[in-house]
């Protein structure tokens, strides 16, 4: 790499050689600075308050430490990932995805193998399906029943999905995710009397029949930011929404509260997109975010559950109770079968889309 400089007249060959020598002596420092300024990672995120927290806890400290900038793109859509990879024109490096993509991505050749010589994993939570050759766990979180406190109170609100479906007793619009693996099918089956241990494999047709009963009362959201906007604007009186988003808008003064019964516990994952233009930088960012110190930082900035258990020991007293899957939630969760979703998402989504258009 060389730098272009305006030409200046020189009086003699000696002057020219002196100028060149001086330039060579000074070159390394500006060159290093230029390289650091140009180095980046493009990170596809779901945006909103979560992206703000990541920027504070991870991206800014990572840039300060390494000189590598993190540029965020909203909306890590699977269709966009497929289009970029198939066109051999990948624009993103890291994407945060639902864990079904841990199986979809490698099967379709959409993701890179992770470099575990750069990314340590001994500090990560242990469990089936949480770590693969192509993905790392990002955070634990839950979809929870959120209710409007101007409309309902602590004693009189839906305490399970049977209540969520009771539009006579609990009137108002319901806020549900438009993606098939966004919890609506599980909620419908639980409302219809299916027990947790019999949820999977999901009976999609039965779930759609149950969804028929509230179809006219649903506001469908495409992003988490849209979901909480419905709740903040009080267009939606009830919602099945990510717990961290609900906690955030509650802290901002929105009239919402959480019911933890039958909360849908799951996790998010990191992947590196096939053909990532900044693949090595992406691996360094993943190592930074999943470190114990990185997990402590995000545990202070947001309320998703941590994937490095030792980080909980570094939190101040009382903080763990505010995080997903904390003490307040124990014994009340339904663990999502994300591997089933990885194998069945396309079929389920087709049925859901057709039903919504009918």
- Residue 281's CATH number: 3.40.190.10
Residue 90 has pLDDT above 60, yes or no: yes
- Residue 356: the pLDDT is 97
Is the per-residue pLDDT at 27 higher than 80?
no
Flag whether 275 is in a domain.
Answer: yes
The pLDDT assigned to 127 comes to 81
Q: What is the mean pLDDT of residues 220-242?
A: 96
Average pLDDT of the residues in 15-43: 49
Rounded CA-CA distance 42/91 in Å is 8
Is the previous residue joined to 244 through a cis bond, with omega within 30 degrees of 0? no
Per-residue pLDDT at 3:
36
Asked whether residue 146 falls in the same domain as residue 65, the answer is no
* Domain co-membership, 87 together with 109: yes
The pLDDT tens digits of the residues spanning 252-293 come to 999 999 999 999 999 999 999 999 999 999 999 999 999 999
Residues 188 and 251 in one domain: yes
103 found inside a domain: yes
pLDDT, position 30: 35
Instruction: Please report whether residue 5 resides in a domain.
Output: no
Burial class (CB in 10 A: 0-12, 13-18, 19+), 109: exposed
What stretches of the chain show up as alpha helix (H) in DSSP? 13-26, 28-38, 48-54, 60-66, 78-86, 101-108, 161-164, 184-191, 204-212, 224-232, 243-251, 279-290, 292-301, 338-357
Domain co-membership, 48 together with 181:
no
Residue 134 has pLDDT above 70, yes or no: yes
* Judgement on whether residues 70 and 190 belong to the same structural domain of the protein: no
Residue 273's closest CA among 95, 130, 100, 118? 95
The per-residue pLDDT for 6 is 38
Does residue 326 have a pLDDT over 90? no
Q: Which domain holds residue 205?
A: 141-265+327-357
Residues 134 and 167 both lie in one domain: no
Calpha distance 309→125 (Å, rounded): 6
Phi, psi of 194 (to 5 degrees): -70, 135
Both tokens of 1, joined, read 């790499």
* 217 C-beta neighbours (distance < 10 Å), count: 16
* Spatial distance between the Cα atoms of 206 and 192, rounded to a whole number of angstroms: 9
pTM metric for this prediction: 0.71
In a domain, 202, yes or no: yes
Are residues 206 and 333 both part of a single domain?
Answer: yes
How many residues are given for the chain? 358
Residue 38 is predicted with a pLDDT of 74
Structural domain contains residue 336: yes
Mean pLDDT across the chain: 89
348 and 236 share one domain = yes
- Total tally of structural domains belonging to the chain: 2
Q: Left if phi > 0, otherwise alpha if psi is -120 to 50, otherwise beta: which for 216? A: alpha
Q: Give the DSSP letter of residue 198.
A: G
Per residue in 55-82, is it b (16+ CB within 10 Å) or e — as a string? Answer: bebbbeebbeebebbbeeeeebebebbe
Q: For residues 122 and 144, what is the distance between their CA atoms, to the nearest angstrom?
A: 31
Task: Kindly state whether residue 27 falls inside one of the protein's structural domains.
Answer: no
The answer to whether residue 185 sits within a structural domain is yes
Identify whether residues 115 and 187 lie together within a single domain.
no
The answer on pLDDT for 7 being more than 80 is no
Q: Are 104 and 61 in a shared domain?
A: yes
Does residue 81 sit in the same domain as residue 155? Answer: no
What is the Cα–Cα distance from 187 to 282, expressed in whole angstroms? 36
Q: Is residue 260 part of a domain?
A: yes
Confidence of residue 118 (pLDDT cuts 50, 70, 90): very high
Tell me the percentage of the chain whose pLDDT exceeds 90.
78
Selection from 295, 314, 308, 339 nearest residue 121 by Cα: 308
- 188: which strand partners? none
Highest averaged pLDDT of the listed ranges 24-33, 211-220, 311-320, 338-347? 211-220
DSSP string of 213-248, one letter each residue? TTGGGEEEESSHHHHHHHHHTTS-SEEEEEHHHHHH
Same domain, 351 and 213: yes
Which one is predicted more confidently, 275 or 14?
275
Whether 281 and 92 have beta carbons less than 8 Å apart is answered as no
């Amino acid at each position: 790499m060389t730098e272009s400089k305006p030409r200046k007249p020189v009086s003699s060959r000696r002057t020219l050689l002196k100028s060149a020598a001086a330039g060579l002596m000074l070159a390394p420092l500006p060159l290093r600075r230029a390289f650091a300024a140009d180095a980046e990672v493009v990170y596809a995120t779901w945006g909103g308050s979560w992206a703000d927290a990541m920027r504070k806890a991870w991206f800014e400290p990572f840039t300060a430490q390494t000189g590598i900038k993190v540029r965020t793109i909203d909306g890590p859509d699977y269709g966009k990932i497929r289009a970029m990879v198939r066109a051999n024109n990948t624009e993103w490096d890291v994407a945060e995805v639902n864990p079904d993509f841990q199986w979809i991505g490698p099967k379709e050749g959409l993701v890179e193998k992770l470099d575990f010589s750069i990314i340590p994993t001994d500090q990560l939570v242990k469990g089936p399906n949480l770590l693969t050759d192509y993905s790392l766990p990002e955070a634990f979180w839950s979809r929870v029943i959120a209710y409007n406190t101007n409309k309902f109170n602590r004693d009189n609100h839906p305490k399970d999905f049977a209540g969520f479906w009771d539009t006579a007793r609990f009137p108002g619009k319901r806020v549900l995710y438009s993606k098939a693996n966004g919890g609506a099918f599980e909620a419908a089956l639980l409302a219809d009397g299916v027990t947790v241990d019999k949820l999977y494999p999901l009976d999609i047709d039965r779930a759609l029949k149950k969804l028929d009963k509230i179809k006219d009362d649903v506001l469908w959201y495409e992003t988490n930011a849209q979901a909480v906007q419905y709740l903040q604007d009080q267009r939606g009186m009830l919602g099945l929404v990510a717990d961290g988003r609900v906690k955030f808008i509650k802290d901002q003064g929105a009239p919402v509260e959480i019911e933890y019964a039958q909360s849908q516990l799951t996790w998010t994952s990191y992947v590196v997109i096939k053909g990532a233009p900044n693949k090595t930088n992406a691996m360094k960012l993943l190592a930074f975010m999943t470190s114990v110190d990185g997990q402590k930082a995000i545990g202070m900035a947001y309320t998703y559950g941590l994937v490095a258990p030792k980080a909980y020991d570094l939190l101040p007293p009382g903080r763990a109770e505010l995080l997903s899957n904390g003490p307040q939630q124990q014994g009340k969760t339904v663990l999502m079968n994300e591997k089933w979703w990885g194998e069945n998402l396309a079929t389920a989504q087709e049925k859901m889309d057709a039903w919504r258009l009918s």
